[in-house]
């Protein structure tokens, strides 16, 4: 595995591989790798000749007062894990390498970014799209792998790729969970022991929401049911819960083929997100999760 810090060196390596006819799979991450990231790499490994992973905690997607400083980092551990899972090139740029100048062009996502996390974190998806576009231009991947835990991010990136004719295919990869149902996240390490014990309530509440959905309950009843389950069974503070069409992320009107039931909950200073994608056609929910 080659570890690269400079954009020019990485581009040189990619160019050589492409000239020799190799396909490139790309796994962008912010590091502190867990099984969710590793499943992205495994899928990329199966479908491409070489796998590039980036690790970069992108300051542009954190707002004032968010957890940029507290975001967990461990370069040595990540390097070992990336090597073990079969990454060929690990790109770990510094903020100066990625953003040599302040300011510059901003990318403004459409209405998909005004709901869910976009409503709670203004500007977050501008920063995500900026770094993703830079990374796509640097890595020039045939396929790029994103986890369904960040279903809103995935939907916005799919729209971005479509609207701007970006030359990479986006591959959706199912959520990976701990045994007790908590979705894997780098932020889980920041939970206190008590909060970690309570956090699986999020997935349980979403499952209850799907039951309400299948009984024909209204959007309001479903959202209230999820909130009540979380607040009655944990000390978690609701940020949002929302049932929307997917991947449009518009008001759910019963006509779309798929819907997303998504929520964000704060345990102490740690904000966790999770979701379930519901297939409307057959009236039962689709697990956007890996089989455990
Ligand atoms: O999902 C993430 O880890 C980040 O948002 C991404 C896509 C690597 C951009 O910084």
Q: Domain holding 163: CATH number? A: 3.40.50.620
| Structural domains in the chain (count) | 2
| Residue 194, number of CB atoms within 10 A of its CB | 12
Domain span at residue 90?
2-173
Instruction: State the pairing for strand pair 237-245/270-279.
Output: unpaired
48 and 154 share one domain: yes
Length of the chain in residues, anyone?
292
Mean pLDDT of the 202-218 span: 96
In the predicted structure, residue 282 carries a pLDDT above the cut 80: no
Burial of 26: CB neighbours in 10 Å, binned 0-12, 13-18, 19+: buried
User: What is the C-alpha to C-alpha distance for residues 199 and 101, in angstroms, rounded to an integer?
Assistant: 40
105 and 36 share one domain: yes
Atom of ligand 1 nearest to the CA of 30: 3
Structure tokens at 292: 């455990």
Mean pLDDT of the 47-62 span: 98
Residue with tokens 């459409």: 110
Structure tokens at 218: 């209204």
Query: Is the CB of 147 within 6 Å of ligand 1?
Result: no
Residues above pLDDT 70, as percent of the chain: 96
Note the pLDDT of residue 255: 86
Q: pTM score, two decimals? A: 0.96
Note the pLDDT of residue 274: 98
Mutate to test the pocket of ligand 1, among 27, 38, 153, 275 (most ligand atoms within 8 A of CB): 153
254 dihedral zone (left: phi>0; alpha: psi -120 to 50; beta): left
Note the pLDDT of residue 102: 86
Q: Tens digits of per-residue pLDDT, 113-142?
A: 999 999 999 999 999 999 999 999 999 999
User: What is the C-alpha to C-alpha distance for residues 222 and 131, in angstroms, rounded to an integer?
Assistant: 35
In the predicted structure, residue 183 carries a pLDDT above the cut 60: yes
* Residue 290 in domain: no
Closest CA to 62 of 115, 121, 109: 121
The runs of H, that is alpha helices, within the chain are: 7-19, 35-47, 75-85, 95-98, 116-120, 124-139, 151-163, 193-198, 201-214, 219-233
Return mean pLDDT, the chain.
96
155 and 39 share one domain: yes
Mean pLDDT of the 222-234 span: 98
Minimum CA distance residue for ligand 1 atom 1: 29
121 and 240 share one domain: no
User: What is the C-alpha to C-alpha distance for residues 36 and 225, in angstroms, rounded to an integer?
Assistant: 28
In the predicted structure, residue 287 carries a pLDDT above the cut 70: no
In the predicted structure, residue 153 carries a pLDDT above the cut 80: yes
Query: Is the CB of 219 within 6 Å of ligand 1?
Result: no
* Residue 269 in domain: yes
Mutate to test the pocket of ligand 1, among 26, 30, 72 (most ligand atoms within 8 A of CB): 30
260 and 134 share one domain: no
231 and 109 share one domain: no
């Amino acid at each position: 595995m080659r570890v690269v810090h400079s954009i020019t060196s990485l581009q040189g390596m990619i160019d050589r591989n492409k000239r020799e006819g190799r396909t490139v799979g790309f796994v962008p991450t912010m590091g502190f790798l867990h099984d969710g990231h590793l499943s992205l790499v495994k899928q990329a490994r199966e479908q491409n000749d070489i796998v590039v992973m980036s690790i970069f905690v992108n300051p542009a997607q954190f707002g004032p007062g968010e957890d940029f400083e507290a975001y967990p980092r461990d370069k040595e551990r990540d390097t070992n894990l990336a090597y073990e899972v079969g990454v060929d090139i690990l790109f770990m740029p510094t903020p100066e390498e990625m953003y040599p100048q302040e300011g510059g062009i901003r990318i403004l996502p459409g209405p998909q970014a005004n709901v869910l996390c976009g409503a709670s974190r203004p500007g977050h998806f501008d920063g995500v799209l900026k770094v993703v576009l830079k990374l796509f231009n640097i890595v020039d991947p045939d396929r790029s792998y994103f986890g369904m835990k960040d279903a809103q991010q995935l939907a916005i990136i799919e729209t971005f790729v479509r609207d701007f004719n970006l030359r990479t295919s986006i591959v959706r990869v199912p959520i990976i969970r701990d045994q007790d149902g908590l979705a894997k996240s780098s932020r889980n390490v920041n939970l206190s022991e008590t909060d970690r014990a309570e956090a699986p309530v999020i997935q349980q509440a979403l499952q209850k929401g799907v039951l309400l959905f299948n009984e024909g309950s209204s959007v309001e009843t479903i959202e209230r049911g999820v909130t009540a389950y979380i607040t009655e069974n944990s000390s978690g503070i609701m940020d949002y819960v929302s049932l929307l069409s997917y991947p449009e992320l518009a008001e759910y009107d019963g006509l779309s083929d798929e819907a997303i039931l998504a929520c964000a909950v704060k345990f102490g200073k740690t904000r966790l997100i999770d979701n379930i994608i519901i297939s409307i056609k057959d009236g039962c929910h689709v697990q956007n999760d890996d089989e455990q």
